[in-house]
């Protein structure tokens, strides 16, 4: 018994070590963003907000932030719409080639980003759509739609399958039932989907870098700074990106999980 306790303690310490490894870069980035040393090490330098001041003064960063905002919001709307359509089709209908149909939407995240980036660049150039913010949005919608689809599909699983038919039975056409029953029921998942797809799009750098041309988003700016030199500005920007993404993810969780608990009670 005693041996078992000891083993448990060792295992839990090991778990903590793994978590330390995973979270070390995130925490250090946060710490370094307030550290005066250009090349941070131990012992730490003085507390400073110099790097934040620098990025706030940089018009390129502001422009990139604006671009990122446009891209992630548009991507979220587009991807969640596509995800919703697919989730509903999967929920409601059985049809031939449904397997390939679902594969079509679920496959993109498993393809290495660098390959997607190259393929997108070549294809969008060919269509004359590259080098614009729109190019990033098109590519990101393909990449993130599966996330929205998965969340909305899970929500539809919780729906009493008779609910939609009950609406028809009470005089709603299929379109009215969609508007008055399906969409309100899925609303929390739709909001979660919007948040998650926005978060994924907000962090994506490979495709954005390839297809964006001169319209840089925040991750592309980070990539370019990192390529140049050691510059703790990256940590300051990174902290902002982190806070934005986490807000979106936590919002997604709140909407999805709280509703799940509610619908089970």
Partner 1 sequence: MKRKFDLYAMTWRLPIIFWQALFFVGPLLFMIAISFFVVKNYRMTEAFEFVNWQKMLTRNYFWDSYGYTIFIAGISTIVAMVLAFPASFALAFRASDNLRRWAIFLLIIPFFTSYLVRTFSWYVILAESGVVNAMLGYVGLGPFKMLNTHFGTVVGYLTLTLPLVVILQTVTMANVDKTLIEAARNLGCKPLATIWRVVLPLSKTGLIVAALFCFILSFGDFVAPFYLGGSQEPTLPILILDTTKSGQQWPRAAVVAIMMMATLFTIAFAAIALAYRKGGAR
Partner 2 sequence: MTEPLVTFRNVKKHFGDFVAVREMDLDIHTGEFLAIMGSSGCGKTTTLRMLAGLEAPTSGEIRIGGDLMNDVKPHERDTPLVWQSLALFPFLSARENVEFGLKMRGVDKDERKRRALEWLDRMEIGEFADRNITTLSGGQKQRVALARSLVMEPQMLLLDEPLSALDANLVIRMQAVLTRLQKELGITFVYVTHSQSEAFAMADRVVIMSQGEIAQVGSPKDIYRSPANRFVAEFVGRNNILGGTVISQSSETVSVSTTSGDFTAVAPADQRTTGSDLTFSVSADLVSVSIDQPDALNKVQCNVISEEFIGSVVTLFLESADGHEFKVQMQERDLIELDLRSGSQIWLSWLPENAHVLDGD
Q: Which of residues 20-59 bind partner 2 (CB under 8 A)?
A: none
In this structure, is the dihedral angle defined by the CA atoms of residues 18, 23, 25 and 28, taken in order, positive or negative? negative
Considering only residues 161 through 190, tell me which ones interact with partner 2, judged by CB under 8 A: 162-163, 165-174, 176, 180-181, 184-185, 187
Beta bridge partners of 10: none
DSSP H helices, the chain, are: 2-32, 50-57, 59-92, 98-106, 113-127, 133-157, 162-169, 174-177, 183-203, 206-211, 218-228, 233-264
Query: Nearer to partner 2 by C-beta: 46 or 162?
Result: 162
Query: Which of partner 2, partner 1, none interacts with 175 (beta carbon under 5 to 8 A by kind)?
Result: partner 1
Distance between CA atoms of residues 226 and 233, nearest Å:
10
Name the minimum Å distance from CB 73 to partner 1. 16
Distance between CA atoms of residues 221 and 212, nearest Å:
11
Distance between CA atoms of residues 52 and 6, nearest Å:
46
Binding-site size for partner 2 (CB under 8 A) equals 22
Query: Nearer to partner 1 by C-beta: 194 or 234?
Result: 234
Given the structure tokens 């797809």, which residue do they identify? 197
Name the minimum Å distance from CB 160 to partner 1. 20
Given the structure tokens 């969609």, which residue do they identify? 178
Tokens read off for 259? 């509703």
Question: What angle separates helix 133-157 from helix 113-127, to the nearest 10 degrees?
Answer: 120
Query: Which of partner 2, partner 1, none interacts with 263 (beta carbon under 5 to 8 A by kind)?
Result: partner 2
Name the minimum Å distance from CB 257 to partner 1. 10
Query: Which of partner 1, partner 2, none interacts with 20 (beta carbon under 5 to 8 A by kind)?
Result: none
- Per rule CB under 8 A, is residue 114 in the interface with partner 2? no
Among 4, 13, 22, 160, binds partner 2 (CB under 8 A): 160
Instruction: Give me the 200-239 binding string for partner 2, x by CB under 8 A, dash otherwise.
Output: ----------------------------------------
Distance between CA atoms of residues 217 and 210, nearest Å:
11
Name the minimum Å distance from CB 216 to partner 1. 13
The binding site for partner 2 (CB under 8 A) comprises 160, 162-163, 165-174, 176, 180-181, 184-185, 187, 262-263, 265
């Amino acid at each position: 018994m005693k041996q078992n306790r000891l083993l448990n303690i060792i295992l839990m310490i090991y778990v903590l070590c793994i978590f330390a490894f995973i979270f070390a870069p995130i925490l250090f980035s946060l710490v370094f963003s307030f550290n005066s040393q250009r090349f941070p090490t131990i012992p730490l330098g003085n507390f400073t907000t110099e790097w934040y001041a620098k990025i706030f003064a940089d018009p390129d960063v502001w422009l990139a932030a604006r671009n990122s905002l446009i891209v992630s919001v548009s991507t979220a709307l587009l991807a969640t719409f596509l995800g919703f359509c697919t989730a509903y089709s999967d929920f409601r209908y059985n049809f031939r080639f449904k397997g390939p149909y679902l594969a079509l939407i679920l496959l993109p995240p498993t393809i290495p980003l660098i390959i997607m980036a190259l393929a997108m660049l070549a294809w969008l150039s060919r269509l004359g759509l590259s080098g614009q913010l729109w190019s990033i949005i098109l590519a990101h919608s393909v990449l993130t739609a599966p996330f929205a689809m998965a969340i909305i599909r899970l929500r539809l699983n919780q729906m009493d399958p008779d609910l939609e038919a009950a609406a028809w039975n009470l005089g709603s056409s299929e379109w009215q039932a969609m508007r008055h029953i399906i969409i309100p029921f899925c609303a929390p998942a739709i909001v979660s989907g919007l948040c998650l797809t926005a978060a994924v799009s907000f962090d994506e750098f490979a495709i954005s870098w390839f297809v964006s041309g001169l319209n840089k988003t925040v991750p592309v700016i980070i990539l370019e700074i990192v390529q140049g030199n050691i510059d703790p500005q990256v940590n300051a920007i990174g902290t902002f990106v982190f806070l934005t993404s986490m807000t979106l993810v936590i919002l997604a969780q709140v909407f999805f999980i709280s509703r799940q608990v509610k619908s089970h009670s």
